[in-house]
Amino acid sequence: MLLGAPGSGKGTQAARFASDYDVPVIATGDILRKNIKENTPLGQQAQSYIEKGDLVPDDLVIALVDSAFAEADAKGGWLLDGFPRTTAQAEALDVLLEKTGKKLDRVFLINVPKDVLISRITGRLLCPKCGRIYHEKSMPPSEAGVCDLDGAALTRRVDDNAETAESRIAVYNEQTKPLIDYYAAKGLLTEIDGTIGLDKIEDVIRETLS
């Protein structure tokens, strides 16, 4: 599981992880955005929360993870990105683990100072086609506004503006931070400095899991 504030680099590490390990990444934010794009009932319910930077209600997100766990590709395990985000979600996850006969191998907490989070979030660009994440200053595509991999026009998330970023970080501090103690108490937590560079972060994750 990857734990960390918005902009801490969970999604970037998850993408690297997915290409190496044969397990799906279950990223609740990505699944919710897909539902919004496809205008599903779940997407309609989630949209206003996401746009404001608030959390989507626990029952919706828990149901979503429950069904992701039931997919055939999740039988051999998974990587969780962005779930759980509240104590109620963590407790629901414990029930789902029991139900599916799985256990958490490790919880990685990626620590990044707030000023860095804000600049990462407000400069973030992503490819709507392949999901690759760029940053307009620190990780720009070769051609401005175009994905290096598939040539699609890069987009910005609706919630990646300065104001919403502030409230997402506040929500993280209030509602998600208590999970650090929750998983430390279970002996599952590995803390990583999220400013040491993508390759080094990946190395820590890989070495810890090996």
Catalytic residues, by residue number, are: 10, 85, 124, 157, 168
Nearer to ligand ADP, 68 or 147 (CB): 68
According to the binding rule CB under 6 A, does residue 83 interact with ligand ADP? yes
Cis peptide before 84 (omega within 30 of 0): yes
Is 85 a residue that touches ligand ADP (CB under 6 A)?
A: yes
Taking CB under 6 A as the criterion, the residue among 25, 132, 168, 179 binding ligand ADP is 168
Size of the site for ligand ADP (CB under 6 A): 19
- Residue 110 as a binder of ligand ADP (CB under 6 A): the answer is no
Nearer to ligand ADP, 7 or 24 (CB): 7
From candidates 3, 14, 55, 68, binder to ligand ADP by CB under 6 A: 55
Q: Are 20 and 127 in contact (CB under 8 A)?
A: no
Q: Which stretch binds ligand ADP (CB under 6 A): 25-33, 108-116, 126-134, 177-185?
A: 25-33
- Residue 168 CA to residue 82 CA, distance in Å, equals 12
Q: Which residues of this protein are in contact with ligand ADP, per CB under 6 A?
A: 6-7, 28-29, 32, 49-50, 53-56, 61, 82-85, 89, 159, 168
